Amino acid sequence: MNKIKYKISDFTLIEKGKSPILKTKEGQYPLVVTAEKRKSSDSFQFNTKAVCIPLVSSTGHGHASIKRIHYQKGKFALASIMIALIPDEQICHTKYLYYYIYHIKDKILVPLMKGSANVTLSMSDVKKIEIELPNIEKQKEIVSHLEKIDEMITDHEKMYEDSRSFSHSFCNKLFHNGITNNVSKETKIGRIPENWDIMKIDEIADVKGGKRLPSGYQFENKKTKYPYLRVVDFDNESINVKNLKYINKETHEKISKYVISSNDVYISIAGSVGIVGLIPEELNNSNLTENAARFCNLKNISKEYLTNILNSDMVQIQIQKSLKITAQPKLALFKIKNLEIPLPSMIEQKQISDIIKFQKTIFNKLILQKKELHMLKSSITDQLLQ
């Protein structure tokens, strides 16, 4: 495939956004911002097709990164921390430019970002970026292929969201109606089956906090026998081991009372509060962060049912009402102990947990398919744009 090398400034008009995100009045026009979803504006700055690129790092704190760029067409406003690239369509198809830059943004944009605290990208540096373009007909052909993949991803994401919504609603109904839709009763935490009890957490479990690393101690740079679980590792009601941290034996011995077993249930209590899940057997007796707590020594309740009921609207609403609102929301241990849950028999707990597990199996397959579609798109994009 023959390609011609251009500087971006050779074939694009580059213009900075004029809309302050927090001060722009809502209206009928899309306001393109750094987030995935558009906001709205009562006026528009552009009436064209454009590739919209953020000028500020998506993570901040001295770290250069660009999480996403946007393709936008028609009348729209643009955030003041973004720029619009408007190409000459006789040279470069706008959607092709979007796919191209998005695919290699970490190679051509992120390295250009500068700053110690506020990491930013300059328009002048963007103008100097060189890219090789095939002829316009080839660009259109590539765009057509990638748009078809995008349609597949959009359809799958709708199915994923519909499934998540149905699963969430269905699981909540189980806690209100039980397995057999028995006669129900109204309680202060909502409607529950008449033969169920309401129990406080401290009646069915002990609640213990985690522990921060002792002063002067650090994580190891290699895997050890002593994993240290952080809230960022809590994922899909389990533990994501991808970026797991480890400590050495000496550090572990100083905080050895603050471990979580595979028989316990975890809950995040600071920052992103209310994330709940179970510990895989291979991470049994891992050290636990001070930003989480564990439910242990369970009485008349299974760990599976406890996880499911803690994730229900019935309990999550209680959690939100119990938060100490500060710069970083915090959930006190005594507040957790006073949370109230509906408690059926052990037999019905297992039946409910089995049904929810089946629902989650279907949902997890959709999650896996979603990841596979994005990997497929990345692979195909790589081949098409080479």
Q: What is the pLDDT of residue 55?
A: 94
Q: Indicate whether 181 pLDDT > 80.
A: no
- What whole-number distance in Å separates Cα of residue 53 and Cα of residue 332? 41
pLDDT tier, 1 (very low <50, low <70, confident <90, very high otherwise): low
Intrachain domains 4-134 and 197-343 with the same fold: yes
Q: Residues of the chain with pLDDT > 90: what percent?
A: 75
Q: Indicate whether 265 pLDDT > 90.
A: yes
Mean pLDDT of 246-251: 95
Greatest Cα pair distance, the chain, in angstroms, is: 75
Q: Indicate whether 287 pLDDT > 90.
A: yes
* Domain coordinates in residue numbering, the chain: 4-134, 197-343
* Reported pTM: 0.73
Give the domain 197-343 fold.
Adenine-n6-DNA-methyltransferase TaqI; Chain A, domain 2 (3.90.220)
pLDDT tens digits, one per residue of 314-361: 999 999 998 877 667 899 999 999 999 999 999 999 999 999 998 888
Mean pLDDT of 176-203: 90
pLDDT tens digits, one per residue of 195-221: 999 999 999 999 999 999 999 999 999
Mean pLDDT of 356-368: 86
Which among 307, 215, 317 has a CA at the least distance from the CA of 265?
307
Q: What is the pLDDT of residue 362?
A: 85
Give the domain 4-134 fold.
Adenine-n6-DNA-methyltransferase TaqI; Chain A, domain 2 (3.90.220)
Contact 49/82 with Cβ under 8 angstroms?
Answer: no
Q: Indicate whether 241 pLDDT > 90.
A: yes
Sheet holding 245-247, edge to edge: 245-247, 226-229, 286-288, 259-260
pLDDT tens digits, one per residue of 88-129: 999 999 999 999 999 999 999 999 999 877 889 999 999 999
The secondary structure of the chain in percent helix, strand, coil, rounded to multiples of 5, reads 40, 25, 35
Q: What is the pLDDT of residue 383?
A: 83
Q: What is the pLDDT of residue 283?
A: 97
